[in-house]
């Protein structure tokens, strides 16, 4: 089902491929009959917002979408000819892009400040990928999900460099049914949203030990269709490295014969994991955090002892 055939379709620039836009369009069209509320995080120019809106003929459905709408390096790289400068607000263009559609509420905000007070039928998530934001995302929105009904569409879930999204969701994986579309979008069907405290606590992937990282990644890779899209060994390497187990990460890479050349086209990857100067800085930073944590613990013990 192609969105291009919809009579109300208009071209909107997008960071998503047409394949992804079409998947969102046809998935929403075929899988939902009684929608009321759809929430999108990361509007950008509004291409997915349009796909969500056009897929539903029912005029009562409401689409809530949010973004900072602030021009940055990433946007400039992808759209160098738009004429925006770093920090510019581009929300006017988005409001105009979506002006042919009814019941679309556009909010210029960080998703952590989005005010939701009704149950959500469907979400499209194209922003939170780092550990902290994925935790925020779950804490904020999961209470509005409906068990055995709400569906979450994740963009970039399988992107090699951002391993944090699948890892953070691992402790609550069993509350979802996950599968991937060939376009790369991952669907998470909510089976239950009553997460236990210890599961939520485990979502802090920075607290995972070396053994937990390896054990959990052996499970993450078997979740949904992850095996087809994610690479376990490089994910374990990055995760060990980012948790401060730098020597173990190097040893693991050697053992598994990780071919770093394959990943060296990714500048961000090289900067973070291969550039030795940066590595030294990272090591210092991790040691400082560890020292600070110990200092904080000692401080609070002294305060407790002195009853301050
Ligand atoms: C990859 S783009 C979205 C692309 C969009 N789906 C499309 O069709 O082109 C991700 C967007 O998320 C926004 N974003 C990033 N972090 C956010 C946050 N914490 N809250 C709201 N929006 C955020 C960015 O400003 C960016 O426009």
Q: What is the pLDDT of residue 221?
A: 95
Q: Tens place of pLDDT for every residue, the chain, 308 residues?
A: 899 999 999 999 999 999 999 999 999 998 877 779 999 999 999 999 999 999 998 878 999 999 999 999 999 999 999 999 999 999 999 999 999 999 999 999 999 999 999 999 999 999 888 999 999 999 999 999 999 999 999 998 877 777 999 999 999 999 999 999 999 999 999 999 999 999 999 999 999 999 999 999 999 999 999 999 899 999 999 999 999 999 999 999 999 999 988 888 788 888 888 876 666 666 666 666 666 666 666 566 555 555 54
The response to whether residue 110 sits with its C-beta less than 6 Å from ligand 1 reads yes
β-bridge pairing 151-154 and 186-190: antiparallel
Which of 44, 64, 82, 88 to mutate for ligand 1's pocket (most ligand atoms within 8 Å of CB)? 44
Ligand 1 atom, smallest distance to 111 CA = 20
The response to whether residue 38 sits with its C-beta less than 6 Å from ligand 1 reads no
Task: Please return the burial class of 93, using the count of CB atoms within 10 Å of its CB with bins 0-12, 13-18 and 19+.
Answer: middle
Q: What is the pLDDT of residue 300?
A: 63
> Crossing angle for the helix pair 246-255 and 276-306, nearest 10 degrees?
140
Ligand 1 atom, smallest distance to 110 CA = 20
Q: Which residue, by CA, sits nearest to atom 12 of ligand 1? A: 42
Centre of ligand 1 from the C-alpha of residue 224, in Å: 25
Centre of ligand 1 from the C-alpha of residue 127, in Å: 5
Q: What is the pLDDT of residue 301?
A: 57
Q: Which residue, by CA, sits nearest to atom 18 of ligand 1? A: 110
The response to whether residue 101 sits with its C-beta less than 6 Å from ligand 1 reads no
Q: What is the pLDDT of residue 63?
A: 96
Q: What is the pLDDT of residue 105?
A: 97
- Find residue 187's DSSP bridge partners: 153, 179
Centre of ligand 1 from the C-alpha of residue 41, in Å: 6
Task: Please return the burial class of 148, using the count of CB atoms within 10 Å of its CB with bins 0-12, 13-18 and 19+.
Answer: exposed
Ligand 1 atom, smallest distance to 124 CA = 6
Record the pTM: 0.88
Centre of ligand 1 from the C-alpha of residue 129, in Å: 10
Centre of ligand 1 from the C-alpha of residue 42, in Å: 3
Centre of ligand 1 from the C-alpha of residue 112, in Å: 13
**Residues with Cβ < 8 Å from 63, sequence gap 6 or more?**
38, 39, 40, 49, 52, 53, 101, 103, 104, 105
The response to whether residue 156 sits with its C-beta less than 6 Å from ligand 1 reads no
Measured distance CA(107)–CA(43) in Å, rounded = 9
Q: What is the pLDDT of residue 308?
A: 46
Q: What is the pLDDT of residue 162?
A: 77
Q: What is the pLDDT of residue 12?
A: 98
B/e letters for 259-285, b = 16+ CB within 10 Å, e = fewer, are eeeebeeeeebeebbeeeeebeebeee
Ligand 1 atom, smallest distance to 48 CA = 8
> Crossing angle for the helix pair 246-255 and 232-242, nearest 10 degrees?
160
Which of 22, 42, 72 to mutate for ligand 1's pocket (most ligand atoms within 8 Å of CB)? 42
Q: Which residue, by CA, sits nearest to atom 10 of ligand 1? A: 42
The response to whether residue 14 sits with its C-beta less than 6 Å from ligand 1 reads yes
């Amino acid at each position: 089902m192609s969105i291009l055939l919809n009579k109300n379709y208009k071209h909107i620039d997008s960071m998503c491929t047409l394949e992804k836009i079409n998947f969102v369009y046809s998935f929403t069209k075929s899988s939902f009959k009684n929608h009321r509320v759809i929430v999108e995080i990361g509007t950008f120019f509004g291409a997915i917002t349009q796909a969500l809106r056009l897929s539903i003929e029912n005029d009562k459905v409401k689409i809530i979408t949010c973004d900072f709408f602030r021009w940055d390096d990433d946007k400039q790289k992808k759209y160098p000819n738009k004429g925006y400068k770093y920090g510019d607000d581009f929300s006017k263009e988005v409001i105009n892009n979506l002006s042919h559609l009814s019941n679309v509420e556009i909010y210029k905000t960080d998703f952590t400040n989005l005010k939701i007070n009704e149950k959500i039928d469907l979400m499209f998530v194209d922003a939170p990928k780092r550990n902290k934001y994925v935790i925020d995302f779950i804490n904020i929105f999961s209470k509005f999900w409906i068990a055995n009904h709400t569906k979450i569409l994740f963009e970039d879930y399988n992107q090699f460099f951002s391993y944090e999204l699948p890892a953070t969701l691992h402790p609550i994986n069993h509350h979802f049914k996950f599968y991937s579309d060939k376009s790369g979008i991952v669907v998470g069907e909510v089976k239950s949203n009553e997460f236990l405290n210890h599961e939520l606590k485990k979502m802090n992937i920075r607290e995972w030990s070396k053994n937990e990282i390896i054990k959990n990644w052996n499970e993450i890779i078997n979740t949904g269709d992850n095996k087809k899209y994610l690479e376990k060994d490089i994910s374990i390497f990055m995760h060990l490295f980012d948790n401060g187990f730098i020597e173990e990460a190097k040893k693991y890479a050697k053992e598994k014969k990780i071919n770093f050349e394959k990943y060296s086209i990714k500048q961000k990857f090289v900067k973070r994991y291969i550039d030795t100067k940066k590595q030294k800085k990272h090591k210092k930073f991790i040691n400082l955090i560890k020292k600070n944590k110990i200092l904080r613990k000692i401080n609070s013990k002294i305060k407790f002892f002195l009853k301050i």
